[in-house]
Structure 1
Amino acid sequence: MDMRIKEVADLVGVSVRTLHHYDKIGLLVPDEVTDAGYRKYSEENLEMLQQILFFKKLGFSLEYIRKMMHNPGYDREEALKMQREMLENEAGKIEKMIKTIDKTLLYMKGDIEMTNEEKFEGIDFTNNPYEKEARKKWGDEAVEESERRIKKMSHREQEELKDRFDEIYKNLSGIRHTAPESEIAQKGIEEWYEYLNEIGDYSPEAFMGLGQMYVSDKRFTKNIDKYGEGLAQFMCEAMKLFYENRK
């Protein structure tokens, strides 16, 4: 059942202003906004919010969380497992610091001796290896590279880019009722893959993840299906097969 923004704020323990900010920066956009302007959050929105707050608690910036979670290859189950490991790692550090504090209190009373090394046990300012892994898995290098290349283009080149996008989408729309594994479908999807790599750097796996986003993110689905109803689903299935054929 959809929830209004105040209900979500009360449930989670964040302010309405925070949720407005998340919407504004494109981090968590509610699935529906009524004609009266009320934001309505779906179950999927709540699942995303859980992920956001876990990453935020672990020290990730909102901007990086946004880029990471909108990466086509982002995997929620993998993220949860990684977050659990990160929290266990932090819990271990906290436990060591608590023991160091207890020992320091005894040392201050003169009950025990402490070496200088013991006074700093558990205090670790090195980078968390799991954060590096998360950035590697779901970083936005391909997206950023595409954006950099597009920004360097002239206005004319950007218009030509848009026209080429339109042409490819229209061609794919014309074959969307064929089997995704058919030769004509795979040839059309290969053309899309090759063109994306002219303006970015997408591996076959990232390409498959992008296709999954076409159906999991309603904004993608809506924009793609303007070229023909069901096109997003067709592209998703064809892009997955494209990847599987290149493992």
Structure 2
Amino acid sequence: MNEGRPKALRIKEVADLVGISVRTLHHYDEIGLLTPDEVTGSGYRLYSNENLETLQQILFFKELGFPLKKIKEIINSPSFDREEALTLHRKMLLEKRNRLDQMIATVDKTIQYAKGEIDMSNKEKFEGFDFSENPYEQEARERWGDEAVDKANAKAASMTKEMQENFNNLYRKLADLRHESPSSEESQAAIGEWYVLLNKFGHYSYDAFKGLGQMYVDDERFTKNIDKFGDGLAVFMRDAMGIYADNHKK
């Protein structure tokens, strides 16, 4: 009998067990997020039980919206405590569930309202929506300090619906151009409008503008939000912003 240490799993077995792709596991290995404990002479990756526990942690963090770069920093930290992390996961997932339950209830009420079965107040139509939490805020505070973030929050709070629509319209305009060259006259004119609009809410030097464009691609949360307007928009904006900044610094 083979007792004690659990049998190591090959990459295909792990993928089938978890329900993710082999390519995803390869990617996690390539970026140093999850490296299998053993690779055989034939090149087979073998995942230990400890590897599976780490993968579970990664997927919990990913479910809660953490970018892979941040997950890697967290789980590789000497102060990382698995039990403490699980407690945090549970708390955050319960909060997420509560909010989703509220939104489901709002959907159910709205269906009944649409059928003429019940009355529904304007307040009830928006129960469950919560835009008060900003997932970037803590990271921003660590990077730029409280004062800068507080000023940015004050600016954002004062943004009218008209201003927000200006942002969305410009995103759509840029999305329509994303298959063009980022250096074209039309692309550069549109990204110039983006530079002007951003500077109404803060002060961006050309270097900062270029750096912001790079962040649109480096941080998958930004990429996901921007690419809602069109696949590849974040990359296009990064390239166009870099060209715009370089041209205007000359």
* Residue 90 (structure 2) pairs with residue 84 (structure 1): yes
Partner in structure 2 of residue 43 of structure 1: 49
Alignment partner of 2:37 out of 31, 36, 44: 31
Query: How many angstroms apart in 2 are the aligned matches of 1:22 and 1:59?
Result: 16
Corresponding residue for 1:64? Answer: 70
Distance in structure 2 (CA, Å) of the matches to 1:81 and 1:105: 36
Distance 1:126 1:13 in 2: 33
- Which of 106, 120, 123 is the aligned partner of 1:100? 106
Partner of 1:110: 116
Q: Pairwise CA RMSD of aligned residues?
A: 2.2
The offset of 1:2, in angstroms, is 1.0
Q: Does 1:55 align with 2:61?
A: yes
C-alpha distance in structure 2 between counterparts of 1:127 and 1:66, whole Å: 23
> 5+ residue gaps in structure 1?
141-247
How do residues 94-243 of structure 1 correspond to structure 2 at under 5 angstroms?
A: 94-127=100-133
Q: Match of 1:225?
A: none
Q: Judging changes above 3 Å, is the alpha-carbon distance between structure 1 residues 125 and 54 closer, same or farther for their aligned structure 2 residues?
A: same
Deviations 1:174-201 (A, max 9, x none): xxxxxxxxxxxxxxxxxxxxxxxxxxxx
Partner Cα distance (2:20, 2:101) in 1: 27
The letter of the residue matching 1:49 is L
Letter in 1 for 2:97: A
What letter matches 1:61 in structure 2?
P
* Identical-residue share of aligned pairs (%): 60
One-letter amino acid matched to 1:10: D
Give structure 2 stretches of 5+ with no counterpart: 1-6, 144-250
Distance in 1 (alpha carbons) for counterparts of 2:102 and 2:77: 36
CA drift of 1:112 comes to: 2.0
Instruction: Give the partner amino acid of 1:89.
Output: E
Distance 2:89 2:80 in 1: 14
Cα distance in 2 between the residues matched to 1:8 and 1:127: 35
- Residue correspondences, number: 135
Q: Which of 18, 22, 25 is the equivalent residue of 2:28?
A: 22
How far has the Cα of 1:107 moved from its partner? 1.3
Partners in 2 of 1:30 and 1:120 — Cα distance? 46
Partner of 1:91, secondary structure, is helix
Question: Which amino acid letter does the alignment assign opposite residue 87 of structure 2?
Answer: K
Distance 1:126 1:86 in 2: 15
- Which amino acid letter does the alignment assign opposite residue 22 of structure 2? V
Q: 1:110: Cα distance to partner?
A: 2.0
- Name the structure, 1 or 2, with higher relative contact order (CA <8 Å, separation 6+): 1
Which whole-Å CA distance do the structure 2 matches of 1:26 and 1:126 have between them? 34
Helix, strand or coil: the match of 1:40?
A: strand
Q: Distance between the aligned counterparts of 2:81 and 2:134, measured in 1?
A: 20
Distance 1:115 1:103 in 2: 10
